Structure 1
Amino acid sequence: MKIAIHAVGRLKSGPERDLADRYLDRAAKSGRALGITAVTVREIGESRAARPDARKDEEAAELLSALPDGALVIALDERGEAPSSDDFARLIGEARDRSVPAVVLLIGGPDGHGAAALDRAGRRISFGRMTWPHQIVRILAAEQVYRALTILGGHPYHRA
């Protein structure tokens, strides 16, 4: 199974990218023993459409354009459920055990997700009710993917 983060916006070189990349690299290395063949990020640019709804629709179409067939899509959305790290790990483990080919986390733009992205998502999860900049959400998503894989692998990184 593959895990991917599809995100609106590009992380520039610097500490945010370095930290996100560090967690993604750790996740890729930890995941191999668990049947995770890749952990990747796909960045798309923000839409320049004038209206928020048009921007969200354009970004949703682009986020969804490269989904692997049969992927479990998880939209990161402030109105989604707020699972624990153990719950998130269980979700990834169950997808792997059902031979789902990929789990894809979607990070929307500043206006949120378009209807197509939310409709396609099998799950909507939130990192809390606060609003986060996408750079931080990218780091949080990468860290939670890494944490989930360490939980599944019985590694002591997660100390709940």
Structure 2
Amino acid sequence: MEPNVELNADYSEPGASAVPWADVLAVLTASEMFWLSTVRRTGRPHVTPLPAIWHEDVLHFCTGDQEQKSANLLANPACVLTTGTNRLHVGLDVIVEGTAVRVTDRDRLVRLAGLWKSKLDWDFEVGDDVFHDADGRTAWVFGVAPDKVLSFGKNPYTQTRYLFS
């Protein structure tokens, strides 16, 4: 998946270039923690940190079926996942905008459970259409195929947009 890449010169240092998509993929692949932003039924925002896995051009995360973010996503699946650094002058921050879709295919869930184990050392048992943790709690798995990705480089300062058609 190769996006259309656009540098926003208004928010980038003079002479800066767009951050290559390969650099963004490296951040998405290496990052363990993301911040998921959803919207409550009242319209108020809800943000929570969680681990996520980039696999086959989709960012995957899981959440308990009784958690606030699950309720939010059932009512409005539009969401944003953010990762990067808390540093001002170094690093690359990445924002993924898209629609969360439940993953229920057993083969895909098995592959994802293996990735959670290998990357994060989290053990999940795969149920019919869910993950189960060691305590037997149910977790829904969601995938977000990006509609748009933004990256914010810090040396030099850049703002780059990646659009998927």
TM-score band, normalised by shorter chain:
under 0.3
Higher strand share: 2
Which structure is richer in relative contact order (CA contacts within 8 A, separation 6 or more)? 1
TM-score, length-scaled by structure 2: 0.27
Q: Name the larger-Rg structure.
A: 2
Which has a greater percent of helix?
A: 1
Provide TM-score, normalisation by structure 1.
0.27
